Copies of this chain bind each other. A is one copy, B any other.
Amino acid sequence: LRQGWPEVVYGEGKSAEQCVAVAERLVERSAGFLVTRADSAVRSALVARFPSAVENAVGRTVRLGVRTNGAAATVCVVTAGTTDLPVAEECAETLLACGLRPERVTDVGVAGVHRLLARTASIRQADAVVVIAGMDGALPSVVGGLVAGPVIAVPTSVGYGAAFGGLAPLLTMLNSCAAGVVVVNIDNGFGAAMAAARMLAGRTSDAA
């Protein structure tokens, strides 16, 4: 049913052996795999078994096989702070696995809005934008006002106290005053990338 998309293994709670076994089965059947939420033991085991696989330690992923060509559509992955990077890297790896090109714009939280505005051109050039923010989760509202294309907001569990594990930015994003911003689950960089893939399937970059 999900034709044309890679198999993504959710590594949370799976042992290194289990992950390697699933990966082997996928490699037999197809061209590649992506394992997300892989702790360092899982990542080491996968890279040892598949030397050509790419480990992303920040994003906690291991990926084998890339289908992205030069004309691939681009997705801008925008983050508010450095603590949001693990979610951004999970997103970027999933985009690559789907044949899309991630472009990162980092550390442009709204409390320093001029840093964000300085990057407006790069953000507008992308075919879709994923905006990742914790705490106040305000960034997608500003970005949504700067670009006309799709904006996918990802709340993160970054923060403490009244952040309530990501509930605060989740509610912020669901109530975004920028019309047409859409939201995925807390920390779900994978889901944001899959949403972009649904939107851009088969498209080459507008910028290309």
List chain A positions with a Cβ less than 8 A from chain B: 1-5, 8, 12-13, 80-81, 83, 109-114, 117, 128, 135-138, 141-142, 144-146, 148-152, 155, 157, 159-188, 190-191, 193-199, 201
CB distance from A173 to the nearest CB of B (A): 7
Assembly CA distance A4 to B199 (angstroms): 20
Closest to A206 in B: B202
Q: Are B138's CB and A160's CB within 8 A? A: no
CB–CB A111/B194 < 8 A: no
Complex contact A136–B4 (CB within 8 A): no
30 A–B contacts, CB within 8 A, in A order:
A1-B146, A1-B148, A12-B160, A110-B177, A110-B178, A111-B176, A113-B146, A128-B199, A136-B173, A136-B177, A137-B172, A138-B172, A138-B176, A138-B177, A148-B201, A149-B198, A150-B198, A151-B198, A160-B185, A161-B166, A161-B174, A161-B175, A162-B185, A162-B186, A172-B172, A179-B194, A180-B196, A181-B184, A182-B195, A183-B183
Residues in B neighbouring A188, C-beta threshold 8 A: 161
Chain B neighbourhood of A172, CB < 8 A: 136-138, 168-169, 171-172
